[in-house]
Structure 1
Amino acid sequence: MIRGIYTATAGMLTQQKRQDLLTNNLANINTPGYKQDQAIIRSFPEVLLQTIRVPIKDKQPIGSIHQGVFVEENVPIFKQGDLMETGINTHLAIWDSELELTQNGQRRPILLFTVQDQNGERLFTRSGLFTEDAAGQLVTPEGYLVLDDQGKPIHINGRTFTVDQKGNIRFSDGQTLRLGLTKIDNPNQLLKQGEQIYRLQGGQGNLPFVNENENYKIFQGKLERSNVDPAETIVNMMAALRIYEANQQVVQFLDKTLEKAVNEIGRV
Structure 2
Amino acid sequence: MSYYTSLTGLKNAQTELNVVAHNIANAETNGFKKSTAAFADIVSASVITDPALTVGIGSRVSKINQEFSLGPIAQTGSGLDLAIDGEGFFTVKSQTSGQTEYTRNGAFGLDGEGYIKSAQGARLQAFPVTSGVADTTSLQDVHVPQTNAAGSFFAGVTVDGTGQVIATYADGTSEVAGKVALANFVAPTGLKQLGSSSWQATGKSGSPLYGEPGSNLFGKLNSGSLERSNVDIAEELVNMISAQRYFQANAKAIDTATQISQTVINLRT
Pair 251,204 (structure 1): closer, same or farther in 2 beyond 3 Å: closer
Residues 27-78 of structure 1 deviation map (CA, whole Å, 9 limit, x = unaligned):
111111110011121222x21279xxxxxxxx78471111211222322100
| Aligned match of 2:115 | 137
Q: Percent identity?
A: 25
Pair 81,234 (structure 1): closer, same or farther in 2 beyond 3 Å: same
| Aligned match of 1:148 | 126
Aligned length: 242
Quote the Cα distance in structure 2 between the aligned partners of 1:264 and 1:8: 25
Quote the Cα distance in structure 2 between the aligned partners of 1:166 and 1:75: 31
Q: 1:165 aligns with which of 161, 175, 198?
A: 161
1:78 aligns with 2:78: no
Structure 2 residue matching 1:67: 3-state secondary structure: strand
Moved more, 60-69 or 160-169: 60-69
Amino acid at match of 1:128: G
1:1-268 → structure 2 map (5 Å cutoff): 3-44=1-42, 46-48=43-45, 61=50, 63-96=53-86, 110-117=87-94, 118-149=96-127, 150-156=138-144, 159-173=155-169, 174-176=174-176, 177-202=178-203, 207-211=208-212, 212-215=214-217, 216-265=219-268, 267=269
Moved more, 256-265 or 195-204: 195-204
Post-superposition shift, 1:262? Answer: 2.2
Structure 1 residue matching 2:119: 3-state secondary structure: coil
Quote the Cα distance in structure 2 between the aligned partners of 1:71 and 1:192: 18
Post-superposition shift, 1:204? Answer: 7.9
Residues 189-237 of structure 1 deviation map (CA, whole Å, 9 limit, x = unaligned):
2111114111111398863520352252101111001101111110111
Pair 207,48 (structure 1): closer, same or farther in 2 beyond 3 Å: closer
| Aligned match of 1:54 | none
Unaligned runs of 5+ in 1: 51-58, 97-109
Structure 2 residue matching 1:66: 3-state secondary structure: strand
Unaligned runs of 5+ in 2: 128-137, 147-153
Is the 8 Å Cα contact of residues 122 and 206 (structure 1) preserved in structure 2? no
Quote the Cα distance in structure 2 between the aligned partners of 1:230 and 1:182: 29
When normalised by structure 1's length, the TM-score is 0.83
When normalised by structure 2's length, the TM-score is 0.83
Moved more, 78-87 or 159-168: 159-168
Pair 160,87 (structure 1): closer, same or farther in 2 beyond 3 Å: same
RMSD: 2.2
Is the 8 Å Cα contact of residues 181 and 210 (structure 1) preserved in structure 2? yes
Is the 8 Å Cα contact of residues 41 and 58 (structure 2) preserved in structure 1? yes
Structure 1 residue matching 2:57: 3-state secondary structure: coil
Amino acid at match of 1:231: A
Quote the Cα distance in structure 1 between the aligned partners of 2:53 and 2:89: 50
